[in-house]
Structure 1
Amino acid sequence: MSVYILIVDDEPDVEPMFRQQFRRDLKSGRFQMEFAPSAATALVRAAEVRDPSLILILSDINMPGMSGLEMLPKVRAQRPDVPVIMITAYGDAETHRKAIENGAVGLLTKPIDFALLRIEIDNRLGQAA
């Protein structure tokens, strides 16, 4: 079974950074990554994919248009089976509280600790197997 992670961020440098960090996993086919430049695009993509192979959504909070926090309850309603981790440059207690209240399973602060993210992805892969 092919599994993938949906990453939602409006910053153009996010995709190459993630692809570099997980290049071995991507090359080996351990999982795939898909990138959405906005919350609206991510909602459409999450609705289209009805395969349980979507194992995780990572979303930036601050984006133009719909923020990650505004997207969160909508994507959780569409796909309650898929955990969402929010990413923010502002790791304050209020942001964390709002993310968890709206259904996020966690919050990562920028710069992203990729070792910590790898553990989370490994856990999700184990659950999907």
Structure 2
Amino acid sequence: MEKIIYIVFILFSLSVIGQTKNLKKDFKIDLLTIEKNTKDTLIGTFTEIYSGNKRIEAKCCTDFDGIDIFYINPKDIVDNRIYMKFYGRKCKPYKKKFIIRGDLKTTIYLKYGKTEYNTKIEDFEMMFKKLNIEHDTFKCGTVD
């Protein structure tokens, strides 16, 4: 009986250890993009993330609420500093620097102005030709 208690304890401990996350987790970046003057949320804003002199991530794109959530590996960040470039439809490109030591939640205010990115049709050109954003392949349907 005593051995069964030890075995149950060990099995329970292993399942708990297996479900814990790494202590060095990715930083969560939570962005809300808004047009500065009208306070409209901006749909389809692209984001490029740089640290040091290297682009570490390029993301497509904000949802219908102007929100984009993604994760950055701390190993990619140099001196706790990143800067991001934002490309919103009908908005001037915008660049902002951040000191990052943990998760980041921020609002980005873009201004309408001269840009190469004006319509939804230009999404794919912006994504693949200009920013070289890799897209994920999703399979929908049933399993055979």
Q: TM-score, normalised by structure 2?
A: 0.26
Pick the structure with more strand per residue.
2
Q: TM-score, normalised by structure 1?
A: 0.27
